[in-house]
Amino acid sequence: MGEETAGDPCSLLKWKRKSLRRLSAALGEKHPASAPTVGRLLSERDYSLKVNHKQLAVSSPHRDEQFLYLQVQKEAFFERGWPVIYVDTKKRELIGLFKNAGAIWCRDPHRVNVYDFRSLAKGIAIPYGIFDPRRNAGFVFVGTSADTAEFAVAAIGWWWQAYGRADYPEALELLILADGGGSNGYRPRLWKYTLQNQLVNATGLSVTVCHYPTGASKWNWVEHRLFGPISVNWAGEPLSSYAKMLKFLNNTTTQQGLTVKSTLTKKKYATGIKISDKQMAALNLTKHETLPQWNYTIRPNSL
């Protein structure tokens, strides 16, 4: 077993590469043992069936510093009465008779497709979530084409025009707390460019963006304050139509008083858009002194 065994150097955990049948065959006639016997012998030596465990996390050396800075920024906006929102994209959903994780009380289970083929779907749904912690309110902008930076900014613009400006009529600035990757990540140029031209210049708001460190997306409040309750609400229910999906979104509540509003857009968002150095140079973007790659403010070009 020496060449077939691996293990954790910091514990007694061991695992083998060959199957029980192959091990039984390898013993040959001199030491005959059936596959069940080999399994029993391995069990006596602390071997057992194991699956991979996702426990190795790569964390940024500036993780704690960024979390403290996020809190400072949030408290400063709260004191001024200005809006703070958490944003992220929930996993895309297939619209049609597809299995949805979870169970519900019923007499007969929903009958759904055996295979989750895209060709069997009526379409896809990309839910972009916005969570307002001050009001414990969630907003979901459902797209049907692609999760791009333009789509993300359009979602925030929809929230501001439909709800935000009425809830915060005196606001001069907006704080966005976002993940470090994806359509609203700190690397995509299109995210910053679209924020400038389609949100900041259009509304006159200055927008400060603070990104969570790499590998820390689970601390984004939109995940557990909004997406979690949504997933529980529609658990076990096939999202057979866009109307049904929006109904579940709008009916999502919690004992803590969460409310959710949603809308559907069928606009096509192009992928692969490139932003030039010249276009980036035209942005009215100021990087913060603290971790400038993750923290920046975009102001209207007219100022």
pLDDT, tens digit (0-9, with 9 covering 90-100), for 97-136? 999 888 888 888 889 999 999 999 999 999 999 999 999 9
* Least confident window among 30-34, 223-227, 242-246: 30-34
Which of 53-67, 216-230, 277-291 has the lowest average pLDDT?
53-67
Q: Please determine, for residue 3, whether its predicted confidence score (pLDDT) is greater than 50.
A: no
Q: Which of 34-38, 137-141, 149-153 has the lowest mean pLDDT?
A: 34-38
Residue with the larger pLDDT of the pair 291 and 57: 291
Structure tokens that stand for 132 in this block: 């307002």
The answer to whether 120 and 138 have CB atoms below 8 angstroms apart is no
Query: Mean pLDDT over all residues of the chain?
Result: 89
Element (H, E) at 6: strand 5-7
What confidence tier does 4 reach under pLDDT thresholds 50, 70, 90? very low
User: Residue 53 CA to chain centroid, in angstroms?
Assistant: 21
Burial of 6 per CB tally in 10 Å (0-12, 13-18, 19+):
exposed
For helices 20-27 and 35-44, what crossing angle results, to 10°? 100
Express each pLDDT in 231-253 by its tens digit. 999 999 999 999 999 999 999 99
**DSSP SS3 for 142:** strand
Cα(245)–Cα(101) distance, integer angstroms: 15
The answer to whether residues 145 and 269 touch, using CB atoms and an 8 Å cutoff, is yes
User: In the predicted model, what is the mean pLDDT of residues 15-23?
Assistant: 63
Kindly state the DSSP code that residue 302 receives in the 8-state scheme: T
User: Does the structure show a pLDDT above 50 at 229?
Assistant: yes
pLDDT level of residue 48 (50, 70, 90 thresholds) = confident
**Contact (CB, 8 A) for 182 and 148:** no
- pLDDT at 24 (0 to 100): 74
- 3-state SS class at 49: coil
Least confident of 4-13, 193-202, 248-257: 4-13
Say what the pLDDT of residue 13 is. 52
- Is residue 107 within 8 Å of residue 199, measured between CB atoms? no
pLDDT-derived band at 203, boundaries 50, 70, 90 = very high
Q: Which band of pLDDT confidence, cut at 50, 70 and 90, is reported for residue 10? A: very low
Task: Give yes or no for residue 14 having a pLDDT over 90.
Answer: no
Per-residue confidence (pLDDT) for residue 303, from 0 to 100: 53
> Alpha carbon of 246 to those of 32, 48, 104, 153: distances in Å?
63, 46, 19, 20
Is the predicted pLDDT of residue 67 greater than 90, yes or no?
yes
112/209 Cα distance (integer angstroms): 42
Pure H helices in the chain: 20-27, 35-44, 63-80, 149-159, 165-167, 189-194, 201-203, 221, 228-233, 242-250, 277-281
Express as a percent the part of the chain with pLDDT over 90: 72
Put simply, whether the predicted model's pTM sits higher than 0.85 gets the answer no
φ, ψ at 174 (rounded to 5°): -130, 135
At 55 the pLDDT is 63
**How large is the average pLDDT for residues 266-278?**
96
**193, 101 Cβ separation under 8 angstroms:** no
What angle (nearest 5°) sits at the alpha carbon of residue 221, between those of residues 102 and 225?
Answer: 45
